[in-house]
Amino acid sequence: MNITKEQIDKLNAVVKVAITKDDYQDKVNKILNDYRKQANIPGFRKGQVPIGLIKKQYGKAVLVDEVNKLLQDNLNKYLTEEKLDVLGNPLPKAQDDFDWNNENFDFEFELGLAPEFDVNLKTKKPVVQFKIVADKKMIDEQVERIQKQYGKMLSQTEVKKNSEVTGTFKNEAEEIENKTTIELSKIKSKKGIDTLVGSKVGDTVTIKTKGLFKEDYLLASALGIANDKAEKLNVEVSFNIDEINEREPAELNQELFDKLFGEGNVSSAAEMKAKIKEDSEKQFEQQSDQKLLNDVTEKLIDDTKFELPAEFLKKWIQVSGENPLTDEQASEEYEKSEKGLRYQLIEGKLIKENDLQVTLDEIKEFSKGFIKSQMAQYGHMNPTEEELENISTRVLGNQEEVKRLSEQLMSQKMLDLFKEKSNLKVKEVSYENFIKEAYK
């Protein structure tokens, strides 16, 4: 067998594979002899069928199968030994005069080669790294929410501006009938507030839906309808009042602190606010980190210039799926996937240059951290090492989970690399301003 490579240009090559009879004949003969020993053909005793008859019946199929195995094994071995960084898979070139009745065979494969390029993390223009801080307004609002949540409900005789009112919204034409509780503090419409204030249990009032709440999503919840319907809704609904309450805020005392943070961990309102600030900012880190990862990725794709073997990749896309694509469909798919492919190449180069690896031990520890956080959500705050070990072992028995955790861990390592080596500009913002600036 002889394998040679013809370089077309920097991104394209053709590999030629010449297979002779000597390469496959012994294997084909062995398989046909094994067939002969097992064959049950009427008129012949088992194992006594003439080899010529076996060759006539099975020879071509065995030959094709063995040559293809030989071809694939040696082609893959050649690509590995020559350290050819190929994109997609080798594409066989069509041969109109190919004949399986010949003894020697020549095959040709088109290759798309990965480009050579450099990645510079120190981009000229810095990437903004948002540091989200919990400002006084946010902390005070969180304290207020906590006080409401743990406060007492006091029955009222009539609706006031601080009331929580339970009742049923109805509109027959729009098929609305939903019992709910609304807080007057969340109503935006002045006319709606004026209509409700002074009402008593048993009263039915009529309210317009358009602009009723300060937050648009509250209307869908209050009426028990889909968000898209609520967005367009502009009708009058009746509201029959069943119950009126005032929520007396909980006192900021040791009893509340112990409920929230565990016994003795917080002992004053100032410490409570400091803990809220710390916990909030820790949660915000995930969002700011994801934003940073996305922004550095986009910057690298924009700034790292290299050519791709586009025509080869379009051809490969055309034939690699379950159903063949037209030229136009393949071009469209290539346009959609080009950006992702560029980042895969950039990421691969960064991983290699910075020797980023994910070990099984790291995946195991990473999975334990993930499991611990999941258990905490269900109130199990201090699982034992044995519990974590047992659950982790079960999780890592699933190859799909191992792959997912491995990708998450590598993503974290890439983020750490970006933080260490990229040109970043730290910007402190409130959460409200982060949303405005990051997703404007």
Q: Looking at the structure, do residues 156 and 105 belong to the same domain, yes or no?
A: no
Q: Looking at the structure, do residues 240 and 327 belong to the same domain, yes or no?
A: no
Q: Looking at the structure, do residues 203 and 278 belong to the same domain, yes or no?
A: no
The count of domains in the chain is: 3
CATH code for position 216: 3.10.50
Q: Looking at the structure, do residues 218 and 301 belong to the same domain, yes or no?
A: no
Q: What is the pTM of this model?
A: 0.73
Task: Label each residue of 398-422 as H, E or C.
Answer: CHHHHHHHHHHHHHHHHHHHHHHHC
- pLDDT 10s digit of each residue in the chain, 440 long? 999 999 999 999 999 999 999 999 999 999 998 888 877 777 777 777 888 888 888 889 999 999 999 999 999 999 999 999 999 999 999 888 889 989 999 999 999 999 999 999 998 889 999 999 999 999 999 999 999 889 999 999 999 999 999 999 999 999 999 999 999 999 999 999 999 999 999 999 999 999 999 988 899 999 999 999 999 899 999 999 999 999 899 999 999 999 888 889 999 999 999 999 998 999 899 999 999 999 999 999 999 999 999 999 999 999 988 888 999 999 999 999 999 999 999 999 999 999 999 999 999 999 998 888 888 777 676 788 888 889 999 989 999 999 999 999 999 999 999 999 999 999 999 998 999 888 77
Residue 142 in any domain: the answer is no
Q: Looking at the structure, do residues 199 and 293 belong to the same domain, yes or no?
A: no
pLDDT of residue 373: 81
> Strand 176-183 relative to strand 163-171: parallel, antiparallel, unpaired?
antiparallel
CATH code for position 431: 1.10.3120
Residue 129 in any domain: the answer is no
DSSP, res 118:
-
CATH code for position 97: 3.30.70.1050
Residue 93 in any domain: the answer is yes
* Spatial contact of 119 and 353, defined as CB atoms under 8 Å apart: yes
Residue 102 in any domain: the answer is yes
pLDDT of residue 45: 75
Q: Looking at the structure, do residues 308 and 350 belong to the same domain, yes or no?
A: yes
Contacts of 49 by beta carbon, 8 Å cutoff, 6+ apart: 36, 39, 41
Residue 147 in any domain: the answer is no
What domain range includes position 55? Answer: 2-113
Q: Which residues pair with 5 in a beta bridge?
A: 15
Q: Looking at the structure, do residues 378 and 428 belong to the same domain, yes or no?
A: yes
Residue 134 in any domain: the answer is no
